[in-house]
Chains A and B, each alone.
Chain A
Amino acid sequence: MRICPNCQYGNREGILFCEDCGQPMAGVPATATRQLNPKDLPQQVKNDLWGSAHFGTQASVILHVRDVPEPIVVQPNPRVVLGRIDLTTQSTPDLDLSPFGAQEKGVSRVHAAFERADESLMLTDLSSVNGTHLNGQRLSPNQPRVLRDGDEVRLGKLILNVYFM
């Protein structure tokens, strides 16, 4: 059984949109009934279990902005909001992308967020104007999606590659 992250309804394995609230079932397919305690497993097995979506509790995110040599390292504790600084309203995102041409590339002031959830990392579009794309697919606003090591995220026209460390 899989619990809907939105309404906690217990859906059958394989259901892709919650049968109660209709929201997409985010998260990783579970192995359901056999209780495995991830803490007891060696790292290799954990990786096999979770695939490239495993994001350890101490892990940090490395962001490679396209055409920028130096990567950015962030620690979602538990959340990092991406956007650009706005001098008129004084709003400051956790990670300001202005140095990477955010304004010209259509990044919103409050664009998207990384968030730690158990042992995975979620990406949520925060109703940005130009949208957030994950591996070329546009995200529905305010619906968290699981990120995997190596995913490509596009904020407006700004392209980021996400790696886990």
Chain B
Amino acid sequence: MSSAPDYYMIMGVAPDADSESIRIAYRSMARRLHPDVNHNPGAATQFRDVTSAYAVLNDPIERQKYDMSRRREIGGNYFTMRVTSSQRSLALLDEPQVLYLLVELLPERARNAQQLETYLNLTLVLDHSTSMKGSRLERVKVAANQIIENLNEKDIFSIVAFSDAAEAIVRAAPLSDKPGAKARVAIMQAFGGTEIHQGLEAGMAENRRHASKRYVNHIILLTDGRTFHDEQQTLELAERAAKEGVGISAMGIGDEWNDTFLDQLASRTGGTSEYINSPLAVVRFLNERVRTLGQSYAERITVSIAPDSDIKVESAFRLQPSPQPMNAESDPVPLGALQIGGATSVLFQLQVSPLTNLGPRTLARVDVTGDILREQKIGYKVIRDMDTEVKESQTLEEPPLPIMDALNKLTMYRMQERAEHALARGDVREATKHLKNLATRLFSAGQNDLAQSALDEAQRVSSTHALSGEGQKALKYGTRLLIAPTSSAAE
């Protein structure tokens, strides 16, 4: 059941508010969010919603009609949103200051317990280029067979095999003929180059045939190579996939593939990108990913953050279900799924411009929307308006533990990122320093293997001015895995 958004929630007024208070609410929203004053991408989205809500609520006849339809709808809480700020108040400073917002979503407990099936519309897009020859392709086949075995007959399943060209070897359909699907996997051969766009385009075509708001629509891309000339085109395809409600997860085997590109591909659709360091791990990674998809409670969760005009979003990082850097410039930010008994959380880093006025003020509006699969509640929306106070000086308090904990781990990921950026600038000394600092942090976190890799890479960088492909990916995805509260697919 698709439902009209709750206009009263969007306007931030009570359902029995008189027309004067609705007008006042609209005016204050306009002052905060109007694109002329607020250049944050999220503000434009939020202001559009506010304007359409106001158009209805400000018209007595429209409002009456809306109120009647609203009464018919059974209200309900499908998930809870909790927003925690790193500081309860801001300090009156004539320099920029940084603030963190932790947005956490939790499924509503009573509904959570209901044991209803989640159906998948799953497309595997498998690289069978020459470099996959041998154990890589063999393990991929084993993994595909296990996935076919474990899927429900009501799940929609398809496989696209690609190299220079792509072919749907299993067409999207309910998986009734498991032996047939396995037979087609068995005859896959390794040849040709890697053109990811071809593969994903064909994968999208398959997935789209059954894509529905009632399903988990997801593409898993597995590759071991670099794609040439078509990266931009592929990212545009990912943008379209996100709009159509299809998530893309990317898995890279070995160390030849372009991690920046696969990260972007996943981040744009709320998916996950992962590094598979050995062919032996392929089966585990793929199965784990599919298992996770099957535990979805809500899908196509997006967060839109509209800070006040003097605040800028610097970065967004999804902490759960799978840690993944997000693209903070896009709005809304796709977060993927909320799992049964799980949580979905994202940490925003905001920069506040120098402040001049004391007293209470608004901070940001956070809007989360998602499709509740089991309840067939499409486009469920929760909004939180965050307020704060500007005080003469900083109050002395420890930042909330969940934020400290997340940042503690996220910092290590950021440090390997900084080392890479320094190296890209040609600053070898800086890169070496960051890697050594990272090693220190990793040792004190008890991650001795990763710390050792960081030290090895520091050594390598100072002598060869480059990271090893393997070490770079091990550090990037290793530190990223540390961020997960319970690392599910860890080494």
Query: Interface on A for B, CB 8 Å cutoff?
Result: 1, 12-17, 19-24, 28-33, 49-53, 137, 140-143, 148
In the complex, B394 has a CB within 8 A of chain A: yes
New A-B contacts (10) at CB < 8 Å, excluding given A17-B408, A17-B411, A32-B91: A13-B97, A14-B86, A15-B98, A16-B86, A16-B404, A22-B414, A31-B91, A31-B393, A33-B93, A143-B444
Residues in chain A near residue B395, CB distance under 8 A:
29, 51
Question: In the complex the two chains form, what is the Cα distance from A142 to B440 in whole Å?
Answer: 11
Chain A minimum-CB-distance residue to B410? A17
Question: In the complex the two chains form, what is the Cα distance from A137 to B95 in whole Å?
Answer: 32
In the complex, B297 has a CB within 8 A of chain A: no
In the complex, B87 has a CB within 8 A of chain A: yes
Residues in chain A near residue B96, CB distance under 8 A:
12-13
Q: Which of B87, B98, B396, B437 contacts A22 (CB 8 A)?
A: B437
Question: Chain B 37-79, CB within 8 Å of chain A: the 1/0 string?
Answer: 0000000000000000000000000000000000000000000
We find that the number of chain B residues with CB closer than 8 angstroms to chain A is: 33
Chain A minimum-CB-distance residue to B403? A16
Contacts A14-B86, A16-B399; A22 near B95 (Cβ below 8 A): no
Residues in chain B near residue A29, CB distance under 8 A:
91, 394-396
Question: Smallest Cβ distance from A48 to chain B, in angstroms?
Answer: 8
Question: Smallest Cβ distance from A151 to chain B, in angstroms?
Answer: 11
Question: Chain B 239-278, CB within 8 Å of chain A: the 1/0 string?
Answer: 0000000000000000000000000000000000000000
The A-contacting residues of B in range 409-463, CB under 8 angstroms, are: 411-412, 414-415, 437-438, 441, 444-445
Question: Smallest Cβ distance from A26 to chain B, in angstroms?
Answer: 12
Question: Smallest Cβ distance from B319 to chain A, in angstroms?
Answer: 15
Q: Which of A12, A53, A148 contacts B98 (CB 8 A)?
A: A12
Residues in chain B near residue A30, CB distance under 8 A:
394
Residues in chain B near residue A53, CB distance under 8 A:
396
Q: Which of A17, A20, A143, A148 contacts B407 (CB 8 A)?
A: A17
Question: In the complex the two chains form, what is the Cα distance from A42 to B175 in whole Å?
Answer: 78
In the complex, B491 has a CB within 8 A of chain A: no
Residues in chain B near residue A52, CB distance under 8 A:
396
Question: In the complex the two chains form, what is the Cα distance from A30 to B395 in whole Å?
Answer: 9
Residues in chain A near residue B87, CB distance under 8 A:
14
The A-contacting residues of B in range 182-241, CB under 8 angstroms, are: none
In the complex, B351 has a CB within 8 A of chain A: yes
Interface pair A51/B396, CB less than 8 Å apart: yes
Interface pair B411/A13, CB less than 8 Å apart: no
Question: In the complex the two chains form, what is the Cα distance from A50 to B393 in whole Å?
Answer: 10
In the complex, B99 has a CB within 8 A of chain A: yes
Interface pair B91/A13, CB less than 8 Å apart: yes
Residues in chain A near residue B93, CB distance under 8 A:
13, 31-33
Question: In the complex the two chains form, what is the Cα distance from A24 to B441 in whole Å?
Answer: 10
23 pairs, CB–CB < 8 Å, chain A vs chain B: A12-B95, A13-B91, A13-B93, A13-B95, A13-B96, A13-B98, A16-B404, A17-B407, A17-B408, A22-B414, A22-B437, A23-B437, A29-B91, A31-B392, A31-B393, A31-B394, A33-B93, A33-B94, A49-B393, A51-B396, A52-B396, A140-B444, A141-B444
Q: Which of A12, A16, A22, A31 contacts B412 (CB 8 A)?
A: A22
Contacts A22-B438, A49-B393; A32 near B86 (Cβ below 8 A): no
Residues in chain B near residue A51, CB distance under 8 A:
395-396
The list of the 9 closest CB pairs from A to B, nearest first, reads A29-B394, A51-B396, A14-B98, A13-B97, A17-B411, A14-B97, A31-B393, A22-B411, A21-B437
